[in-house]
Amino acid sequence: MKKDIIFPKVENVYVAAVKEWNDDFQENSWYAHLINDSDQTLEMVIVVSKAYGTLNGEMRKTGTFRHAFKEIAPKTAIKVELLENNVLQLNNEFMVSFFKDNQLLDKVFVFKTNTINDKATTDIPVMNVRGVLLK
């Protein structure tokens, strides 16, 4: 039965939006990072991202992006993707799946509409920078 299935809780794995210099646009841009703040390696990591929401009374959504990483070492972060300014007005969802201790774990992280901004920044673990953090 469904009640008998154990869904382990994802701990010490985060998604953060961090502002960094973008040479292509010649400005600071927001980038999504996956953070492994645990003491164990994350293996076979898959991140599926998309943005969606209502803009000017019209439902909008972006394409779905898929990113795969063989492993993410303990106490490290990896850059996932650029968050273009026009998608910050939408919900930005990151579905993260990975193996840890030979067990499959997954978690959905969602930056709600307009929550990625300079006023919402906090200290980001592992990276030692400021940004918007989802736990």
- Which CATH number is 85's domain given? 2.60.40.2420
Report for 2-6, 85-89, 95-99: range of highest mean pLDDT: 95-99
CB 37 within 8 A of CB 4: no
Number of structural domains in the chain = 1
Instruction: Of 36, 46, 26, give the one whose Cα is nearest residue 106.
Output: 46
The per-residue pLDDT for 80 is 98
What pLDDT band is residue 5 in, cutting at 50, 70 and 90? confident
With respect to residue 50, please indicate whether it lies within any of the assigned structural domains. Answer: yes
What's the pTM value of the predicted model, to 2 decimals?
0.93
Q: Is the pLDDT of residue 2 over 70?
A: no
With respect to residue 83, please indicate whether it lies within any of the assigned structural domains. Answer: yes
With respect to residue 1, please indicate whether it lies within any of the assigned structural domains. Answer: no
Residue length of the chain = 135
With respect to residue 128, please indicate whether it lies within any of the assigned structural domains. Answer: yes
With respect to residue 84, please indicate whether it lies within any of the assigned structural domains. Answer: yes
Q: Report helix, strand or coil for 118.
A: helix
Instruction: Of 44, 35, 32, 42, give the one whose Cα is nearest residue 13.
Output: 35
Domain range for residue 20? 8-134
With respect to residue 22, please indicate whether it lies within any of the assigned structural domains. Answer: yes
Q: pLDDT tens for residues 32-89?
A: 999 999 999 999 999 999 999 998 899 999 999 999 999 999 999 999 999 999 999 9
Q: Is the pLDDT of residue 126 over 90?
A: yes
The per-residue pLDDT for 1 is 62
Q: Tell me which of 4-8, 12-16, 70-74, 126-130 is least confident.
A: 4-8
